Structure 1
Amino acid sequence: MNKLLHTPLTVHNVELANRLVMPPMATGKTPDGTVQDDLLAYYDARSKGGCIGLIVTEHAYISPEGKAHEGQLSVSRDTDIPGLTKLVETIHKNNTAVIAQINHAGSAAMEEITGYPAISASVTAQPEYARKSEKPVREMTADDMHAVAKKFAEAALRVKEAGFDGVEIHAAHGYLLDQFYSPLGNKRTDAYGGDLDGRIHLLLDVIRAVREAVGADYLVALRLGASDYTESGATIDDAVYACKKFEKAGVDLLDISGGFCGFTVKNRKGPGFFSDASSAIREAVHVPVILTGGVTKANEAEVLLEEGAADLIGVGRAIFKDADWAKKEMEE
Structure 2
Amino acid sequence: MKWKEPLSIHHLMLTNRIVMPPMATRAASHGYIDEEICKYYQKRAEKGYLGLIITEHMYIDKQGKADPNQISISRNGDIGGLRQLTRCIHREGSTRVFAQINHAGSIADPIVTRQQAVGPSPVLHPRQKQSQVLPRELSVEEIQVLVAEYAAAAGRAKASGYDGVEIHAAHGYLLNQFYSPLTNHRNDAYGCDTLEKRVHFHLQVIHAIRMVVGTAYPLAIRFGGCDYQPGGSTINDAVEAAKLFATAGVDLIDVSGGMNFFVRQDHTEPGYFRDMSSAIRHHVSVPVILTGGVQTVEQAEDLLVTGAADMIGVGRAILQDAEWPKRELGK
- Counterpart of 2:126 in structure 1 is 127
Runs of 4+ in 1 over 6 A off after TM superposition: none
- Counterpart of 1:216 in structure 2 is 215
Other structure's SS at 2:38 match: helix
Residue identity in the other structure for 2:247? K
1:62 pairs, out of 56, 60, 64, with: 60
Please state how far the C-alpha of 1:127 moved relative to its aligned partner.
2.9
Residue identity in the other structure for 1:303? D
- Counterpart of 1:41 in structure 2 is 39
Residue identity in the other structure for 2:36? D
Q: Distance between the aligned counterparts of 2:156 and 2:28, measured in 1? A: 18
Please state how far the C-alpha of 1:173 moved relative to its aligned partner.
0.2
Q: Distance between the aligned counterparts of 2:252 and 2:155, measured in 1? A: 18
Please list the CA deviations of residues 25-83 of structure 1 after superposition, one character each: whole Å capped at 9, or x if unmatched.
Answer: 00011021010010001001100011100000000000110100111000000000000
- Counterpart of 1:235 in structure 2 is 234
- After alignment, is 63-72 or 7-16 more displaced? 7-16
Question: Given the alignment of the two structures, is residue 255 of structure 1 paired with residue 261 of structure 2, yes or no?
Answer: no
Question: Given the alignment of the two structures, is residue 18 of structure 1 paired with residue 16 of structure 2, yes or no?
Answer: yes
Structure 2, gaps ≥5 residues long: none
Could you state the TM-score of these two structures normalised by the residue count of structure 1? 0.97
Please state how far the C-alpha of 1:273 moved relative to its aligned partner.
1.3
Residue identity in the other structure for 2:275? D
Please state how far the C-alpha of 1:13 moved relative to its aligned partner.
2.1
- Counterpart of 1:246 in structure 2 is 245
1:61-140 aligned within 5 A: 61-95=59-93, 96-128=95-127, 134-140=132-138
Please list the CA deviations of residues 127-171 of structure 1 after superposition, one character each: whole Å capped at 9, or x if unmatched.
Answer: 307x89823310010011101100000000000000100000000
- Counterpart of 1:147 in structure 2 is 145
- Counterpart of 1:299 in structure 2 is 298
Residue identity in the other structure for 2:99? A
Q: Distance between the aligned counterparts of 2:115 and 2:228, measured in 1? A: 31
Question: RMSD across aligned C-alpha pairs, in angstroms?
Answer: 1.2
Residue identity in the other structure for 2:61? S
Q: Distance between the aligned counterparts of 1:326 and 1:172, measured in 2? A: 25
Other structure's SS at 1:241 match: helix
Q: Tell me if structure 2 keeps the 8 A contact 1:111–1:135.
A: no
Change (3 A) 1:132 1:64: farther
Other structure's SS at 1:73 match: coil
Q: Tell me if structure 2 keeps the 8 A contact 1:270–1:294.
A: yes
Residue identity in the other structure for 2:59? Y
Q: Distance between the aligned counterparts of 1:256 and 1:271, measured in 2? A: 14
Residue identity in the other structure for 2:203? L
The count of aligned residue pairs is 329
Q: Distance between the aligned counterparts of 2:287 and 2:180, measured in 1? A: 23
Residue identity in the other structure for 1:34? Y
Structure 1, gaps ≥5 residues long: none
